[in-house]
Homo-oligomer: A and B are copies of this chain.
Amino acid sequence: MTEFIPPGTRFFALPSPFPMKRGGQLIDPRLAYETWGQLNSRGDNAILILTGMSPSAHAASNAGNPEPGWWEAMIGPGKAINTDRWFVICCNALGSCKGSTGAASTNPATGHAYRLDFPDISLEDIAGAAHALVHGLGIERLGCLIGCSMGAMAALAYLQRFPDSTERHINISGGAQALPFSIAIRSLQREAIRLDPSWNQGQYEGDIYPESGMRIARKLGVVTYRSALEWDGRFGRVRLDGERRADDPFGLEFEVESYLEGHARRFIRQYDPNCYLYLSRSMDWFDLGEYANGDVMAALAAMRVPRTRVIGVTTDILFPIQQQEQLAEGLRAGGQQAECLDLPSPQGHDAFLVDFDRFIPAVAEFLATP
C-alpha cells in the first residue's frame, strides 16, 4: 500500500467533503499537479491536461523536477504545447496513487489507508476534481482542455458537466462510452489482480504485493495498447540471444515476450493495485449517453465547446477510430466546430506517447492558431 509521488509535485486541497457521483464522499481530498509557463493577465492562456490511467502529473521537466516527463517531447518552450505562450497544468487523476487522493491514501476517518473502503470513483469525479483545481488556480475558462485515453473520456465528462469551460479541446484516443471489448480486457486485468492470493482483498502490505496479478494486467495492457502491425515489423519472429533453458520450453524465447517482460518489470511495485482496480472500473462505467436518455450522439450535440480536434489512431484496438469519429460527428451535429484526425500510426492506442512525428504536428497546428 504505497503512493508513488514524483519530487516537485504540488498539491491542491479539494473542497471538503467532496461528494462522489456514485455515492459517498471524501474528506479533505487533494489533487497532485504540476505546471509549466505563466498564466497571462487575462487568464485565458491555460491548458489543462488530463492523463491516461497510469501517468503522474509530471508530464514534462520543470524547475521542481528536472527529470523528463511522460510527454516531454510535447511540452516546453517552442514545442507543440508551447510554454512560452501557454500556462500548462497537468493533474494526477483523483483516485490515482501518484499524489492525488485514492485507495492508497490515508482515510482521515480511520488513520489507515482507504483500500477497498474508498468509494466508487467515476470519470465524472475525476473531471470535477480537475475543474476545482482550475478554478482554485484563478482560471475562469481554459484556453484548451487536452485529454488522452482515460483522460480523453474524463475530458468529455468535464465538458458535459461544465459547458463552455474551454475555448478549445483536444481529445486523443478516447471515446464517448466504454464498449464491451475494452470492458472485457479491463475485467480480465482486474480479475488477474484479484485472483492473486497476495492481493488478499486489498489488504496487501509492505513486501506483500500482488506481483503476479499486476504482471498479467500490465502485459495484457501493453498487448492492447499497441498493434499487431507494429509488432510484425518490430519483432517478427526474432529470438532472444542465448539459448532458452533446455528444461523450460515455456520460458522467454521470442523478443516480443522479452518486450512484455520489460514493461511488466517497470510497472510492478510502481503502481498501487487497489488504485488500478478503481480507475480501471471507472472507465467501464463511463457512458456519455447517460446524459441524454442513452443517446450518445444527442449528449455530444448538447456540448458547448467552440473548437475541438479529435485525434485517433487507425490501429487502436482499445478505442477504435470509429469512436473518435463519433465524437467529432456528434459535436458538429450540435453546431460546434470539430474535426477528427485519423492518424495511421502503427503503435495503436499508445501512439500519442511514442509517435511524435505524427502527434506533434497534429497538436501544434491546432494550438498555433490565434
A residues adjacent to B (C-beta < 8 A): 116, 120, 177-181, 183-185, 187-188, 190-192, 194-195, 197, 212, 215-216, 219-220, 223, 227-228, 231-232, 234-237, 247, 249-250, 253-257, 260, 277-278, 281, 284, 287, 317, 320
A256 and B191 contact, Cβ closer than 8 Å, known pairs A120-B249, A220-B220, A281-B250: no
Interface of A is mostly: helix
What is the bound-complex CA distance between A32 and B179, given in angstroms? 42
A278 and B249 contact, Cβ closer than 8 Å, known pairs A180-B232, A223-B181: yes
Residues from chain B with Cβ under 8 Å of A250 in the complex: 190, 194, 277, 281
A317 and B228 contact, Cβ closer than 8 Å, known pairs A178-B237, A256-B183, A281-B250: yes
Partner of A216, one of B116, B188, B254: B188
What is the bound-complex CA distance between A284 and B244, given in angstroms? 14
Partner of A180, one of B237, B287, B317: B237
Further pairs besides A116-B247, A184-B260, A187-B256: 15, Cβ < 8 Å: A180-B228, A180-B232, A180-B235, A180-B236, A180-B237, A180-B255, A180-B256, A181-B232, A187-B254, A188-B260, A190-B250, A195-B215, A228-B320, A249-B277, A249-B281
Q: Which of A183, A197, A219, A320 has the most CB of B within 10 A?
A: A183
Partner of A184, one of B231, B237, B287, B317: B231
Q: Is the CB–CB distance between B177 and A237 below 8 Å?
A: yes
A188 and B254 contact, Cβ closer than 8 Å, known pairs A181-B231, A237-B287: no
A244 to chain B, nearest CB (A): 10
Q: List, sorted by A's number, 23 A–B pairs whose CB atoms are closer than 8 Å.
A: A120-B249, A179-B236, A179-B237, A180-B234, A180-B235, A180-B255, A181-B227, A181-B232, A184-B231, A187-B260, A188-B216, A188-B220, A188-B223, A188-B260, A191-B216, A194-B250, A195-B212, A195-B215, A197-B197, A216-B216, A220-B220, A250-B277, A254-B284
